[in-house]
Each structure stands twice: as C-alpha cells, then as structure tokens.
Amino acid sequence: MKKVIMGNHALSYGAMLARSQVIAAYPITPQTQVVELLSEMCADGTLDAKFIKVESEHSAMAACIGASAAGARAFTATSAQGLALMHEMLHWAAGERVPVVMGNVNRAMAPGWTIWADQNDSLSQRDTGWMQYYCASNQEVVDTVLQAFKVSEALSIPSMVILDAFALSHTYEVVDIPEAAKVDAYLPPFRPLYKLTPSDPRAFGGLTSPEHYMELRYKLQKDMEKAPALIEATGREFEKIFGRYLGLVDPYLCEDAEIILVTSGTAGYTARVAVDAMRAAGTKVGNLRIKVFRPFPFEAVRKYTAAAKKIAVVDRNISYGHHGIFSQELKSAVYGHADGKPVFGFIAGLGGRDITPASFKEVVDYAIAHEQPEAEIVWIGAKI
Amino acid sequence: MIEIRFHGRGGQGTVVASKILADALAQEDNYVQAYPEFGVERRGSPVVAFIRIDSKPIYDKSRIYAPDHVVVVDPTLVEAIDVTEGLKDGGWIIINSDKKPGEFAFPSKFKVATVNATEIAVRNKLGSLAAPIVNTAIVGVVTRILGLTKLDSLLKAVGDAISIKPENNKTAASEAYEQAGDYC
C-alpha cells in the first residue's frame, strides 16, 4: 500500500511492522513524531507493544537493553543531544550483545543551539559497537528498520537506522508500506539463545576479569565482520519479497567514472542529480553512496572505486583536528589498494546548511582542477 | 519536474495544504516530495512549504530555490515579503484574495490568479471568522489552475487527511476548483 508519509513516521511504521514488543523513548526535536505515532499505535492497539515513558534518553536505552535481554524486540529513537546522553548505554547494549534497533535523526550537536542536520551526533558513536545504516529516502527508512532487526538478531549486535533532520525526518514522500504478512515471513519473532528469565536465572554483563574480557571483544569484532555478507544476503532476501535491494552501498554510474563522489544520507541522492547533469556535459563522474558505515564496507568501496582516477568524499561531519570522518574511512579502505589514487576530502552541509547539486559540481570541478588536494579538507559552501 | 512554494502564516494549514496535494498526486502515480520550511514555526508568523512533483523518482533532496509556481495563502504576505523570490519566468502566482489579478503590481513575466479562498472557507464554516482555515480551498484552486490531478483524487485526499468537518472541506475544495476554472 502506497502512502505519503514523513521520514519520522517511516521509522514508526518500520518499528510497527517489525512487531516491536517494547518501545521506550524520550521525545526530542526533530525526532518527536516517531514517538508520537508509536505511542498512538500502542494506545489504539495497532501495535501490541509495551510503551515505556522514561525521564531521559539514558533511561530509554537502559529500558530497551533490559527488554531485549528479557527476549523482547525493543525499539527506540532519538537525535543529537539525546543520543549523546545515551552514550554510556550504547556501549552497554553492544557489550551485552542485545539486538536493540534505534532510529537516530541526524541533527548537529549544540552549541550553538541547533535542530538542523549533520552527522556528528551518530558518528560520535562510531566506536560503541553498533551497526550504522544511513538512509536516503523514507522508503529506505521503513525497509532498513526491518533489515536491521533481522541482521541485529542474527548477530546479537544493536543497530542504528539514521536519517537526516528535516530533509527526511519532516519530508513527505511516497512510501510503499510493506505488507504485514510478508514482513512476518521476512522477519520471524525474536528468539534469543539466552534470555533473562526467573525460571533459568543468568547474570548479564557481570564482572569480567582480564582473563575473559578480551575474548568477549574479539567475538564482538568477529561477529561484526560477518555483518557485511549478512547485510547483502538479507538485502537480497528482502528484494525477493519486496522488489527492493538493501545493500551496503548504492553505486550510481561508477563503472566508467574517472571521478567517484563518495556520499551518504540524503546528500547521496542529491549527488545523483548532479552526476546526471555533469554526465550530460561530458564529465565522467559517478556516485558511491555509503549506506552502511559500521561495519565499514571495505570490499564494496574498493570494488566500486577501483577503476576511477580520483575519489572525492563529501562529509557532512568533521573530526576536529583530523578530517571529515567518511574521508578518513575511505583513505583507510583504499590504502594499499589504490596505487596512490588521490582521495579528496570535502566538508559541506554542517548544521543543516543545504547541500545542492551545485555543491557537487563545485566538488568535482575542484577534483578536476587539482592533481592532489591542496589541503586535507576543502570546505564547500562555508563563508570563509 | 514541477516545484511549487506555498506562503502562509503559522496556523492557516499551509503545511497541511502541501501534504493534501501530495496525497492527491500520489494517488495518480506521481512521485512527490513535500516539506515545510526547515525550522521552528510560530502561529501568525510567515511560514513556507514546498512540493516537488515528477513522473520519475525524485532524488534531489536539496531545498527549492527557483519554484515554477508560488501560492500565497495569506494575502497580507504580498506586502510583507517578496513572494516572487526565485520564481521562474512564466510561473503562476496564485493568491488567496478578494482582489482581481490586475490589482497586484507583479512583473508581466508572471501569471497571476486570485480566488477568494477566505470567503469560501468562512461560508463553509471552516475555522473562525477571525482565523479561517483556507487550506482545502487553496488546494482546490492550485489543482485546477496547474492541472495537477483530477478533482476526485483531490477530494479523496481531503477526506483522508481531515477528520474535522470533512464534508465542508470537500465542498470548499470543490467550490474553489470551480471558481479557478476562470483561469483555465
């Protein structure tokens, strides 16, 4: 069934269709409608879930961890300062290996006070052990919530489904809402190997001496390494049922491209418009949108950038004192594989500044004009 | 692709108008993208909403800077702001007003249409006399002048979107649709 819905409601529909059993969330702009719709769905019986009102995001994640440990499918959503407040619990969820799925609306970190999009909130959680999916359309948001639960539950690793503030969260698009019976076939009920239950008492996350801790972390990493293949396999399985593939990356005209744009989020779709215009003018450019950031899709990135002469990464984020974060990751992915191919790093769109087709034209013009970047960061659209 | 910008004031249902139009267009297998101005809204302050319409998937997620047409839900905004900013030559300026198009001093490169949506809304008891809800009349006008969808699709979208006085809202949309026929 096709419906015109906003990105925030796409998260709500995803959580509903996944038959989430526990939802604990705290409202924050621009995520609020996710929680509003889910609370309505719980109240009117559309969704048979326990909705837990909490006093903070830290508690929201703590409640989801407890629910997941007890064997319930748990969902929450947040943004920016709320995600930062959860930070301790994010480590806890991944360390305890509970497959919680969380929507995060990418909002820049304050101060200066802001409600607009950039990726520094979610990328600040890079090393917490969560998988991260960056979406470019409301359709992808609904679909990815379903896939995220499937992959998370198979690997016992939590997932974050991420969408840009306003450009998706408050933007209405046509979404083909997956049919419930088909979703049930794709995503069967959560059946954890171990769960918190009085009849079979166990300790979760207990004191772990130096004798055992390192092996737990080794296992988390080993399971994370299984994720790329599983994401591709569950993406194909999804495609068989729903006709839409959900992969690690979304390549657009990369095969014969001399310059490859590397993008993420909604900017990764806007880039396609720029690519079409530049192709029409004779410039061989392609766009590789990174959908999954953790685990990082090393092989897919190497494959699609192999034939290009230059790589131009556009980051809507920054690691102060270093570079844009996707550009660092790209450099580490192609190091030793790229024959000295230059990786240009651009920063654009911080704090909700718009990233337009003209922004990508500027990026590509710079990459054409320079054999090597003049600096590790080239700023796009900044008043400097 | 057609890009339209709506100018209204917080509380008039401008954002809802763009959503209803998107719903109606989606029924006829168009791709649509509708969004409010990215930020905080206050009752009575100028608000903007946008819609993109295409027969193919819409990948451009940047904001609309050069709309094909603009819709002015609140006529007092014509004096307060430049509603033609970025408007493409030949584009429609559709205004909720009791004036005639010739009474507005817009450059001749734009086409101007006026329909008294406020009168239609008040007569159909939508909102109050002081704060009429004009959005359903407005979408009727826009649909007709721009030839976007069939009236039936619009009325279904109005019925689906509005739970308070749905029949009055449908009547307002139909009446506005008929009146706008003068410009077609």
Name the nearest CA neighbour of A18 among A176, A151, A188.
Answer: A188
| 3-state secondary structure (DSSP) of residue B128 | coil
Residues A87/A11/A270/B85 CA torsion (nearest 10 deg):
-100
Domain ranges in chain A are 2-242, 249-379
Q: Is B38–A165 a contact, with Cβ atoms under 8 angstroms apart? A: yes
Q: At residue A276, what is the residue type?
A: D
Name the nearest CA neighbour of A348 among A262, A229, A280, A260.
Answer: A262
Complex prediction ipTM: 0.95
Of B31, B61, B65, the CB nearest to A270: B61
Name the nearest CA neighbour of A292 among A359, A360, A377, A229.
Answer: A229
Average pLDDT over residues A156-161: 98
Chain B residues in contact with A116 by the CB 8 A cut-off are: 38-39
The residue of chain A nearest to residue B65, with distances taken between CA atoms, is A356
Does B38 lie at the interface with A, CB-CB under 8 angstroms? yes
The edge-to-edge listing of strands for the beta sheet with A74-79 is A50-53, A22-25, A74-79, A101-106, A159-164, A131-134, A292-294
Does B28 lie at the interface with A, CB-CB under 8 angstroms? no
Chain A residues in contact with B59 by the CB 8 A cut-off are: 269-270, 272-273
Which stretches of chain A sit within 8 Å of chain B by CB?
2-4, 115-116, 136, 164-168, 170-174, 266-267, 269-270, 272-273, 352, 354-357
- Give this prediction's pTM: 0.97
pLDDT for res B13: 86
pLDDT for res A338: 72
| Token pair belonging to A165 | 């503030």
The residue of chain A nearest to residue B23, with distances taken between CA atoms, is A4
Share of chain A above pLDDT 70, in %: 100
pLDDT digits (tens, 9 = 90+) for B37-54: 877 777 888 999 999 999
- The whole-angstrom separation of Cα A24 and Cα A316 is 29
Sorted by where each starts, the structural domains of chain B and their CATH numbers stand as 2-183 (3.40.920.10)
Cis peptide before A30 (omega within 30 of 0): yes
CA distance A28 to chain B (A): 13
Please state, rounded to an integer, the average pLDDT across all residues of chain A. 97
pLDDT for res A189: 98
Number of H helices, E strands in chain B: 6, 6
Chain B residues in contact with A266 by the CB 8 A cut-off are: 61
pLDDT for res A5: 97
pLDDT for res B40: 73
Interface test with B, best of A32, A172, A264 (most B CBs within 10 A): A172
pLDDT digits (tens, 9 = 90+) for A346-362: 999 999 999 999 999 99
Side-chain half-sphere exposure of A8, counting CA atoms within 13 A: 23
Interface test with B, best of A174, A275, A316 (most B CBs within 10 A): A174
pLDDT digits (tens, 9 = 90+) for A72-92: 999 999 999 999 999 999 999
CA distance B169 to chain A (A): 20
Q: How is domain A2-242 classified at the architecture level of CATH?
A: 3-Layer(aba) Sandwich (3.40)
Question: Is B161 in contact with B20 (CB distance < 8 Å)?
Answer: yes
pLDDT for res B39: 75
Q: At residue A245, what is the residue type?
A: Y
Regarding the domain delimited by A249-379, which CATH topology (the fold level of the hierarchy) does it fall under? Rossmann fold (3.40.50)
Work out the pLDDT band at B11, boundaries 50, 70, 90: confident
